[in-house]
Amino acid sequence: MRPVAESDVFSGAVDVRADFPIFSRQSDRPLVYLDSGATSQKPAVVIEAQAEHLRSHNANVHRGVYALAEEADAAYDGARRRVAAFVAGQPQATIFTKNATEAINLVAYSWGRAHVGPGDAVLITQMEHHANLVPWQVLCRERGASLRYLEVDEHGELSLEQLDAELARGDVRLLAFAHISNVLGTINPVAEMTERARAAGAVSLVDGAQAVPQLAVDVGALGADFYAWTGHKALGPTGIGVLHGRTELLEQMEPFLTGGDMIASVDFQETTWNELPYKFEAGTPPIAEAVGLGAAVDYLSGLGMERVRAHERSLTAYMLERLAEVPGLRVVGPPTAERRGGLASFTIDGIHPHDIAELVDRAGVCIRAGHHCAQPLMRCLGVGATARASVGVYNDRADIDALIDALQAGREVFGL
């Protein structure tokens, strides 16, 4: 008898592919989309919510007194309330940005430039996306601070002992790290890490770009001072990201960008800032995108994030099992799906990752290849690039089977 595999533990698969119009597009090849780590596909309810807003409720926000403008205000502010509630955040401490990258830059500029100085340190990890690395590099260089890294071990995990040792040095002002690594898939122990940072007097920032689309996130329970994520990976539109911050910190911070909605009053020489969250939303915000993101989080809530995670965990376990059948294939990151999000990055002896992605595309399979905006991590792993397959709620086992078949066919092309 076949032993019970990790992928068999969960059987209540989610079947929502019909909700996503892209899977009905006419093409000479079936669409096997395994690149949700880069961006997710969108359900019809998101596309329609955004279109309906533009069709019937479009006006600028927080400016007009006419009825149509009030509809737009209600749509925008209502979207913020739903997005905040989705991760158990507070609406006034939920700031809409352009993407996760801008959310992190906001903290680096507004909080970082006021609190990090010569002799201080910013502590990040070797597994960070450039979005959660370069802003800290620039800040540290500008302020004469040092940037230190927590190491990634051979299973793609961080060490809490190393975190304790780094914090014990007494100079760490900020700890910034990914909730889920976009390369390794590692799910980091966020609450344990933020608690340690707080005990050491450091502020914490969590990059939740990969986590919010696939886990039930409660920003309060996670204990991060700042939590950043991005709409387009969470079934929402591009052009909108989210920053949740601790209200006291946001209130003390100076604005990041200036002009437009973020002012209370302007005189020839002086300006006073608007209240939260508007203080951090300069210019016309992403209104239709917020409406789309509101529809996306409603859709995800309707499915239930526990189910979404269970579905993707089961698929990831299945993917790990099936990838192990491919000769010469090496997966990086945690060995089981329990400790990882819905992705697997891998190399195959004798085939460059870009060739792998091109070969599987011949069978309509979309995966990513490259350094995944994590070049320092690639150096730690001793590779220039990896191929990465990442799942979404609309994937099923047949997609994984198509990937494996395409990889096996690709090996043959290379005479392996």
Ligand X SMILES: Cc1ncc(COP(=O)(O)O)c(C=O)c1O
204 counts as binding ligand X under rule CB under 6 A: no
Question: Taking contact as CB under 6 A, which single stretch among the options 124-132, 141-149, 315-323, 396-404 is the one that binds ligand X?
Answer: 124-132
Residue nearer to ligand X on the CB measure, 206 or 400? 206
19, 73, 157, 207: which one binds ligand X (CB under 6 A): 207
**Up-side HSE of residue 51: CA atoms within 13 Å toward CB?**
7
178 counts as binding ligand X under rule CB under 6 A: yes
36, 40, 90, 101: which one binds ligand X (CB under 6 A): 101
Minimal distance, residue 101 CB to ligand X, in Å: 3
Residue nearer to ligand X on the CB measure, 310 or 373? 373
**Residue tagged 């000479």 (tokens):** 28
182, 274, 316, 395: which one binds ligand X (CB under 6 A): 182
289 counts as binding ligand X under rule CB under 6 A: no
Active site residue 366: no
Minimal distance, residue 59 CB to ligand X, in Å: 27
Query: How many chain residues are in contact with ligand X, going by CB under 6 A?
Result: 14
Minimal distance, residue 228 CB to ligand X, in Å: 8
Minimal distance, residue 207 CB to ligand X, in Å: 5
Using CB under 6 A as the criterion, what x/- string covers residues 302-331 for binding ligand X?
A: ------------------------------
125 counts as binding ligand X under rule CB under 6 A: no
Give the Cα separation of 351 and 367 in Å (integer): 15
Question: Taking contact as CB under 6 A, which single stretch among the options 47-55, 93-101, 212-220, 314-322 is the one that binds ligand X?
Answer: 93-101
Chain centre distance of CA 185: 11
72, 209, 317, 360: which one binds ligand X (CB under 6 A): 209
Per-residue HEC secondary structure of the chain comes to CCCCCHHHCCCCCCCCHHHCHHHHCCCCCCCEECECCCCCCCCHHHHHHHHHHHHHCCCCCCCCCCHHHHHHHHHHHHHHHHHHHHCCCCHHHEEEECCHHHHHHHHHHHHHHHHCCCCCEEEEECCCCHHHCHHHHHHHHHHCCEEEEECCCCCCCCCHHHHHHHHHCCCEEEEEEECECCCCCEECCHHHHHHHHHHCCCEEEEECCCCCCCCCCCHHHHCCCEEEEEHHHCCCCCCCEEEEECHHHHHHCCCCCCCHHHEEEECCCCEEECCCCHHHCCCCCCHHHHHHHHHHHHHHHHHCHHHHHHHHHHHHHHHHHHHCCCCCEEEECCCCHHHECCEEEEEECCECHHHHHHHHHCCCEECEEECCCCHHHHHHHCCCCEEEEECCCCCCHHHHHHHHHHHHHHHHHCCC
Minimal distance, residue 303 CB to ligand X, in Å: 22
Give the Cα separation of 83 and 351 in Å (integer): 42
Residues 140, 366, 373, 380: which is the catalytic one? 373
Minimal distance, residue 389 CB to ligand X, in Å: 14
131 counts as binding ligand X under rule CB under 6 A: yes
381 counts as binding ligand X under rule CB under 6 A: no
129 counts as binding ligand X under rule CB under 6 A: yes
Residue nearer to ligand X on the CB measure, 223 or 341? 341
Residue nearer to ligand X on the CB measure, 94 or 132? 132
Minimal distance, residue 377 CB to ligand X, in Å: 11
Question: Taking contact as CB under 6 A, which single stretch among the options 6-14, 71-79, 206-214, 405-413 is the one that binds ligand X?
Answer: 206-214
Rule CB under 6 A: which residues touch ligand X?
99-101, 129, 131-132, 178, 182, 207, 209-210, 230, 241, 373
Catalytic residues: 373
